[in-house]
Amino acid sequence: MRTGIVFITFVSLLLAMCVQSEEWSLGEGRWVDLTHEFSEETLYWPTSDTFQKDTVFVGHTDEGFYYEAYQICTAEHGGTHLDAPIHFAEDRKRVHELELDQLIGHAIVVDVTGQAAENREYQLSVDDLTDWEQEHGRMPDDSILLVRTGFHQYWPDAEQYLGTAMRGEEALKELSFPGIHPDAARWIVENRNIKAVGIDTASLDYGPSTLFETHQILFEENIPGFENVANLDELPPTGSFVVALPMKIRGGSGAPLRIVAQIP
């Protein structure tokens, strides 16, 4: 699909924002970019169109000033992006319907890099979540849950990151990467109040999934997903504050995402 528009990321992070918390001030800490760049190297689902950037004009105009402009073409679901609940749940929220409050908030990071290093198709389990709580306390209400598998390190090597460099329908059988087990997703929606879930792989569901049950479970509850998140190794298990603003596509099932975090 060709949009014929220029996608400008982040003119301003937030013009005005007030966080009511005794433990946090946006004036303190360090910002971490959790977003992979969009370019011809950006990884997409094997059946999706890839990123294209075409030159409109580069150089000096007849009037004598320098000018650059481009147009891009991109699928909703590729690179660091947001999955809106409508992507896998009928009559649920689309991109433009998501409240800002659902995309901004305190984050927790559950680290399963050890398990994923031993099994590249590892799925985050209920035990991983309860073990995290035993060490760090109950997940705070309205948190953003981020799952770190360590696969960020392979970007943009498709063979390492996705399990295959093939394109097309045949590639789907070769996908191999970690994800979130449907049981863990079900535990989250039944026992905790999490407003968004992100992961540093190409999908909330693990590579071999064909039913995408984790997507279905979370999205049925209008919990959006962030996929292909970068640099989760720089975030602590607790204490970071995430801002995840997608391109505001009316009616969209997903959108390119600029996601950042501030850490103390």
258 lies in some domain? yes
**Residue of 225, 219, 174 whose CA lies nearest to 196:** 225
Question: What pLDDT shows up at residue 75?
Answer: 96
- Tens of pLDDT, residue by residue over 145-173, are 999 999 999 999 999 999 999 999 999 99
Domains of the chain: total? 1
Residue 248 belongs to domain spanning: 30-42+76-263
pLDDT of residue 27: 61
Look at strands 81-83 and 225-227 and give their pairing.
antiparallel
- What is the greatest pairwise CA distance in the chain? 67
Task: Please report the pLDDT score of residue 57 as a whole number.
Answer: 98
Confidence band for 21, pLDDT divided at 50, 70 and 90: very low
78-135 pLDDT, tens per residue? 999 999 999 999 999 999 999 999 999 999 999 999 999 999 999 999 999 999 999 9
* pLDDT tens readout for residues 60-84: 999 999 999 999 999 999 999 999 9
Contacts of 171 (CB under 8 A, 6+ apart): 46, 47, 164
Token pair of 94 as six digits: 């689309």
Report if residue 24 sits inside a domain.
Answer: no
**Which has more pLDDT, 96 or 3?**
96
pLDDT for 22: 35
pLDDT in tens, 208-261: 999 999 999 999 999 999 999 999 999 999 999 999 999 999 999 999 999 999
- Give 3-state DSSP helix, strand, coil % of the chain, rounded to 5: 25, 25, 50
Is residue 18 over pLDDT 60?
no
CA atoms of 194 and 204, how far apart (whole Å):
15
User: Is 200 contained in some domain?
Assistant: yes
Residue 21 lies inside a defined structural domain of this protein: no
- The neighbour count for residue 158, using CB atoms within 10 Å, is 19
The yes-or-no verdict on residue 2 having pLDDT over 60 is: no
In a domain, 53, yes or no: no
- CATH number of the domain that residue 193 is part of: 3.50.30.50
Distance CA 151, CA 206 (A): 12
How high is the pLDDT of residue 26? 58
Average pLDDT over residues 22-26: 47
Residue 5 lies in a domain: no
CA distance to 21, 138, 139, 244, per residue, from 194 (Å): 18, 12, 8, 15
Q: Which residues in 12-33 are b (16+ Cβ under 10 Å) and which e?
A: eeeeeeeeeeeebeeeeeeebe
The confidence score (pLDDT) of residue 28 equals 75
In a domain, 229, yes or no: yes
Q: Is residue 32's pLDDT more than 90?
A: yes
Q: Is residue 12 part of a domain?
A: no
